[in-house]
């Protein structure tokens, strides 16, 4: 739970709390929305000083508070009807609300891209809240025995019209920014399925930085392959995976007579396990056969490009793990 005070001038008069564990997605692929459950409450006050929140405007950012990171449009709540968020004499009067931010497919992809760039794969952002707090000066239409504040002088209507209030809005209402950090488990289990991604199971692969077993060109090549895949250019995606393979082979000195497993083992200076070397050589051979087909095969489909992209990513991570985590006492783990 992440909470912030509602301030009028220099005084805290209430609180807004975000339940991070209950953040969810809903609406499916046709109308995806990110839902943030919040509870708004006002501190207890004497009836003569009763306060109420009359409106709230909530804006979500997927990172820093800049226009480029704004998630959709601000969500506005009109809280005049019934004044559900108002103080009482004896205890806080919590009011539960759900802030629903409509998403587009492209926006979901951007949110996922930014989430995967964080170290713990959590969604990180900020929720800004603005609004108005008003003093409940007087009321009309309340039964004398239930009156919670002084009556409006000269009130001329009977109880059939219900209750009305005289409000005096304060000039300055402020709510500090709420930090939004949704854990990877909550995001994957409760947000993505509600957005229509329940048929997808994400396997997170850490793409290593260039250096050591990986040349400088790896990042641009792989990012280009991913962009081609997202755009439906499947043949171009496979071709860029081939470029990734070529770059690694050249960097470590692998040839047809000296497979990648042996080339890596020679460079790190300690023997790889037989299973590691066999896995690397066999998977690399499969990647080579598939990506070489991009020279003469004109039609590639989404499944082809997806398998090629994932296999490339798995092998890149495996290579990096081999050279940075040697057996104890067997070298530095850094390639020359």
* Predicted TM-score (pTM) of this structure: 0.60
The mean predicted confidence, pLDDT, of the chain is 85
- 3-state SS track over the chain: CEEEEEEECCEEEEEEEECHHHCEEECCCCCCEEEEEEEEEECCCCHHHCEEEEEEEEEEECCCCCHHHECCCCEEEECCCCCCCECCCCCCCCEEEEEEEECCHHHHHHHHHHHHCCCCCCEEEEEEEEEEEEEEEEEECCCHHHCCCCECCCCCCCHHHCCEEEEEECCCEEECCEEEEECHHHHHHHHCHHHCCCCCCCCCCCCCCCECCECCCHHHHHHHHHHHHHCCCHHHHHHHHHHHHHHHHHHHCCCCCCCHHHHHHHHHCCCCCHHHHHHHHHHHHHHHHHHHHHHCCCCCCHHHHHHHHHHHHHHHHHHHHHHHCCCCCCCCCCCC
Residue 324: pLDDT band (50, 70, 90) is: low
Residue 234, pLDDT above cutoff 80 = yes
Residue 334, pLDDT above cutoff 80 = no
Q: When comparing pLDDT for 171 and 155, which is higher?
A: 171
Residue 270: pLDDT band (50, 70, 90) is: low
164-188 pLDDT tens trace: 888 999 999 999 999 999 998 899 8
193-227 pLDDT tens trace: 898 875 444 445 555 455 556 787 787 888 888 77
112-127 pLDDT tens trace: 888 878 888 899 999 9
């Amino acid at each position: 739970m992440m909470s912030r005070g509602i301030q009028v001038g220099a005084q805290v008069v209430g609180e807004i709390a975000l339940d991070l564990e209950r953040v969810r997605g809903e609406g499916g692929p046709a109308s995806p929305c990110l839902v943030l459950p919040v509870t708004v409450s006002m501190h207890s006050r004497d009836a003569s000083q009763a306060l109420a929140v009359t409106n709230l405007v909530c804006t979500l950012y997927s990172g820093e508070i800049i226009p480029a990171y704004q998630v959709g449009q601000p969500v506005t709540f009109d809280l005049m009807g019934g004044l559900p968020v108002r103080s009482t004499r004896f205890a806080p009067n919590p009011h539960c609300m759900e802030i629903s931010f409509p998403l587009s497919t492209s926006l979901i992809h951007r949110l996922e891209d930014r989430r995967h760039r964080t170290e713990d794969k959590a969604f990180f952002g900020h929720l800004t809240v603005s609004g108005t707090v008003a003093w409940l000066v007087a009321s009309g239409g309340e039964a004398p025995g239930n009156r919670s504040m002084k009556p409006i002088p000269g009130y001329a209507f009977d109880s059939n019209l219900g209750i009305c209030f005289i409000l005096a809005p304060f000039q300055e209402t402020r709510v500090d920014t709420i930090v939004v950090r949704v854990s990877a488990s909550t995001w994957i289990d409760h947000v993505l399925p509600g957005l229509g991604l329940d048929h997808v199971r994400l396997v997170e692969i850490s793409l290593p930085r260039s250096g050591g077993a990986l040349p400088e060109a790896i990042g641009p090549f792989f990012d280009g392959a991913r962009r081609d895949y997202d755009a439906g250019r499947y043949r171009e995606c496979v071709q860029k995976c081939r470029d990734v393979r070529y770059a690694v082979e050249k960097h470590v000195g692998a040839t047809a007579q000296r497979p990648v497993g042996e080339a890596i083992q020679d460079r790190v200076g300690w023997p790889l396990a037989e299973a590691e070397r066999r896995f690397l050589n066999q998977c690399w051979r499969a990647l080579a056969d598939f990506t070489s087909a991009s020279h003469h095969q004109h039609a590639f489909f989404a499944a082809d490009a997806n398998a090629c992209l994932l296999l490339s990513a798995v092998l890149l991570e495996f290579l990096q793990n081999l050279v940075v985590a040697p057996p104890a006492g067997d070298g530095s783990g850094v390639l020359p």
